[in-house]
Structure 1
Amino acid sequence: MDAIKNFIDNYLIWMSLPQFTKTDIFEILIIAFALYHIILWVKNTKAWVIVKGIIVLLIFSLIASILHLNVILWIFKNTISVSIVAVVIVFQPELRKALEQLGRKNLVSSIIQFEDSKDKNEKFSDKIISEIVRATFELAKTKTGALIVIERNIILSEYERTGIQIDSIISSQLLINIFEHNTPLHDGAVILRENRIAAATCYLPLSDNMQLSKDLGTRHRAGIGISEETDAVTIIVSEETGKVSVAESGRLIRNIDGDYLKTKLQDMKKKTTEVKGIKLWKGRRGNEKKAD
């Protein structure tokens, strides 16, 4: 009997599962959620190519361990500390962007509705949306290039300072006039804040996304770039084709019509004030067009 007990204690103890509590399950869910979003973030950046290279090296080190290739294992062991520092240096732009995105999540404001956001929603009325849509497609008819940035929760003051302050009520006539060829304000982006045109001729950061279509020019890359670094929604009118596109959260939706743009802006207005819980999964809406 003692022999059986010793056998169980020595060889079958690994089969006994530890006791799980609600706290353990909660921790597992948090870690799984974090790992999922880390993998998703890495896969959507150019860092994914480097990660694949690291995975190949790890597989090679595993094979070396199985085959007892001691010299190769010694090299891996003595270079791992240097490699960690090298990975941090190589991934520095991606890590910085990830921290910026984490800071933009606004988990508290997604649960608690503040009066400031409510006031913004009231100022960004359906009339303002109609004025923006009308101006956008009037510019598209004449193939007049335009870049309209709509500020949301993140203040765009640093980009506003690169242009000329206007501080005027939004109207389709004024937007069309700003982007008219051979006028002092036509070059650069217009920033809209609440129900006003804050500034024109503003310079925006260009996206470094390597997966973007090669036929996209500087205007489109600037529109995507500002949407990657902030929560702004950007409307782009192509000077070459007259097509209208929308950039949000680093995604570009091309060749949209007036109805789609109006619906997009109305959805954006609702998102600024709706009391929302924390979502663990965010799928693509059915009416979203596929981005290039």
Structure 2
Amino acid sequence: MSFADFDFLEYLANIVDILLVWFVIYKLIAIIRGTKAVQLLKGIFVILIVKFISDYLGLNTLSWMMEQVLTWGFLAIIIIFQPELRRALEQLGRGRLFSRSGLQEEEDEEKMVEAIIKATDYMAKRRIGALISIERETGMSDYIETGIQLQSRISSELLINLFIPNTPLHDGAVVIQKNIVAAAACYLPLSESPFISKELGTRHRAALGISEVTDSITIVVSEETGNVSVTRNGELYRDLSGETLRELLTAELVSPSRIKQAASTRWNWRGKKNG
């Protein structure tokens, strides 16, 4: 090998080193995102900024205080965040440290499906009208802005409460974005398709309308019959059972690694189509 080859290998090793460091940092941020550790990091950055400013301005006392905080703060962090550190080390031992973010997302998706199933079953039995639209690849921010912003963790109790008749937010659609209830009382575009059954009302037309302009999945509970319908890609599927709805939402919304053994991953069931 020539010296040029050694220089190239050293240059390549530096690039790989930098990329690996960025990858580790990205994964660590993904792991702590949404946890109380985020607030801790913000506090550490504030202390570092104060320390830098105090050193620059010659504020010796303040600088000494910040230095003590940083020196003893790491010990405090170990004590305060002992459960989180232990969990991270356990995941590292299982080889799951860098896959946690994906697993967490799948768990959130499964919880979302369970919450929707439970809420839908409750409202169908009591004939409480509902309209729930789930954002996928196509953004629904324009429709979210027409409603009341919530940005709340999804739960069956919250969904049921939002659609209780004669409450301020019951009229309109609930939009779920990234496993979060983004907004309620949203206005969705009505479908103008001439093939919709005359017995269907505004909720079903709105569900079909949003499915014609986005790739969202929308669930409708009829307040007249209690029947559950779903729209996707401009198609309306009616009178779905709870088990069929569960299979559908799992197949479409839960990450593939969790549904490899699912019996059905296609939109083929005995529901009525478009009336």
For the residues of structure 2 that align with 1:249 and 1:129, how far apart are their CA atoms?
20
Cα distance change on mapping 1:120 and 1:156 into 2, 3 Å: farther
Cα distance change on mapping 1:198 and 1:285 into 2, 3 Å: closer
For the residues of structure 1 that align with 2:212 and 2:256, how far apart are their CA atoms?
18
User: 1:286: how far off?
Assistant: 4.2
Cα distance change on mapping 1:251 and 1:269 into 2, 3 Å: same
Please tell me the residue identity of whatever aligns with 1:196: I
Contact 1:124 1:269 in 2 (8 A): no
Q: Say yes or no: does 1:213 pair with 2:197.
A: yes
Q: Say yes or no: does 1:287 pair with 2:255.
A: no
Could you tell me which residue of structure 2 aligns to residue 268 of structure 1? 252
Match among 125, 140, 157 for residue 124 of structure 2: 140
For the residues of structure 2 that align with 1:118 and 1:209, how far apart are their CA atoms?
39
User: 1:121: how far off?
Assistant: 4.9
User: 1:287: how far off?
Assistant: 3.0
Match among 231, 246, 250 for residue 234 of structure 2: 250
Could you tell me which residue of structure 2 aligns to residue 224 of structure 1? 208
For the residues of structure 2 that align with 1:161 and 1:120, how far apart are their CA atoms?
28
Could you tell me which residue of structure 1 aligns to residue 153 of structure 2? 169
**TM-score of the aligned structures, taking structure 1 as reference length:** 0.53
Cα distance change on mapping 1:208 and 1:160 into 2, 3 Å: same
Please tell me the residue identity of whatever aligns with 1:181: P
Equivalent residue pairs, number = 168
Match among 157, 163, 166 for residue 182 of structure 1: 166
Tell me how large the CA RMSD over aligned residues is. 2.4
Cα distance change on mapping 1:183 and 1:245 into 2, 3 Å: same
Q: Say yes or no: does 1:199 pair with 2:148.
A: no
Match among 131, 134, 143 for residue 115 of structure 2: 131
User: 1:288: how far off?
Assistant: 5.4
Contact 1:152 1:272 in 2 (8 A): no
Please tell me the residue identity of whatever aligns with 1:133: I
Is the partner of 2:118 in helix, strand or coil? helix
Please tell me the residue identity of whatever aligns with 2:168: P
Contact 2:163 2:169 in 1 (8 A): yes
Return 5+ residue gaps in structure 2 as ranges. Answer: 1-98, 259-265
Is the partner of 2:271 in helix, strand or coil? coil
Higher relative contact order (CA 8 A, sep 6+): 1
Deviation readout 1:40-59 (Å, 9 max, x if unpaired):
xxxxxxxxxxxxxxxxxxxx
Could you tell me which residue of structure 1 aligns to residue 93 of structure 2? none
User: 1:149: how far off?
Assistant: 0.3
Cα distance change on mapping 1:270 and 1:170 into 2, 3 Å: closer
Cα distance change on mapping 1:180 and 1:247 into 2, 3 Å: same
Could you tell me which residue of structure 1 aligns to residue 219 of structure 2? 235
Cα distance change on mapping 1:272 and 1:167 into 2, 3 Å: farther
